[in-house]
Chains A and B, each alone.
Chain A
Amino acid sequence: RSGSKHATTPADNYYLARRRTLQVVVSSLLTEAGFESAEKAAVETLTEMLQSYISEIGRSAKSYCEHTARTQPTLSDIVVTLVEMGFNVETLPAYAKRSQRMVITAPPVTNQPVTPKALTAGQNKPHPSHIPGHFPEFPDPHTYIKTPTYREPVSDYQVLREKAASQRRDVERALTRFMAKTGETQSLFKDDVSTFPLIAARPFTVPYLTALLPSELEMQQMEETDSSEQDDQTDTENLPLHMSTDDSGPEKENTSVLQQNTSLSGSRNGEENMIDNPYLRPVKKPKIRRKK
């Protein structure tokens, strides 16, 4: 149980105290019934039963009261509950007043722990006029106010490159190791399969597709190299790379070349409609031939 470790929390304390009280109750009832001693296990079981019973009463009573749209259970809720649970309510007063009953001292009431006052940081904002007063107050400003902080970006090119490189390497290694762990592997050493795990080669049904088509990453890169020229401010990942001056030049060329390409293909598409090529002609319907 997790409670054993953190027995000091208030909730646990209550729990233990209640449990103790119930145990006392069970013991006294047993004494009342004439037992002189009981095995610990038996007492435990009875305590458990009693607790369940009381809990059920509480749960049921709560349900009944909620059923009638109230929040506080009333006596009638309890009565209904007891009836529902097959308990004869009539016998209760008599039982309560029985002579041989033992009185148990109420458990000592510890002081309610004082909830520490929330730290108030700054002035809570008053409601604006369009919000009715009964609505809860605004939370502390620090919970919703954005305070942009500008950390000096790491400008050391070398550090950045190193970081990027090791990051990528770590990701790749973790990813490939994961793939290798979860799938079939091959190994270069017979005695060791885990140090250099190779993801098993799996044949493709159409091998040329993966080999020829650019991978998604490459496609993405193509797009990135395209768009990076327009908004390099937001993309912090790109930032360090623009600091090396020798990179920015050719990229402009890149985009212009790409644009040319697209314009070219665009004009081509327009032309295609007018092209007379036998492969573009519609397929003819079969002629109904007269039988010879």
Chain B
Amino acid sequence: MQFMLLFSRQGKLRLQKWYVPLSDKEKKKITRELVQTVLARKPKMCSFLEWRDLKIVYKRYASLYFCCAIEDQDNELITLEIIHRYVELLDKYFGSVCELDIIFNFEKAYFILDEFLLGGEAQETSKKNVLKAIEQADLLQENFSSQSPHNCLSTP
């Protein structure tokens, strides 16, 4: 996968993840172009389209569009399910996720994504394992809000 974009029906970008090096200018251009293209498509249309030399796989969940750019030999259907699994993860973590959750907790959305996909490839597809990792991190931040782990370990 080359990148993933989340944007609203109004065309507002909510999350962007780039797995290939691109300049900021290029990223903005791509985003503009794709948001426009995808929003212009009608509901019953197919979820795949050819775009430049990539394939775009997108799906709408409520007010949010999830849009992935994959390479020629990548599998469209499994990418569609990558999107779905990510939505499930967000849903489970936030409890009935909505767009607002992603706006106000954008950093969490990024953290969850990093546990699930890394470098554009599925790292861990088990829902349980991903959420366990995030939970552990959340626990860490609660435990260490007053003390750092290093202090714990190094002080006798």
| A and B are interacting partners | no
Please list the residues of chain B having a beta carbon within 8 angstroms of any beta carbon in chain A. Answer: none
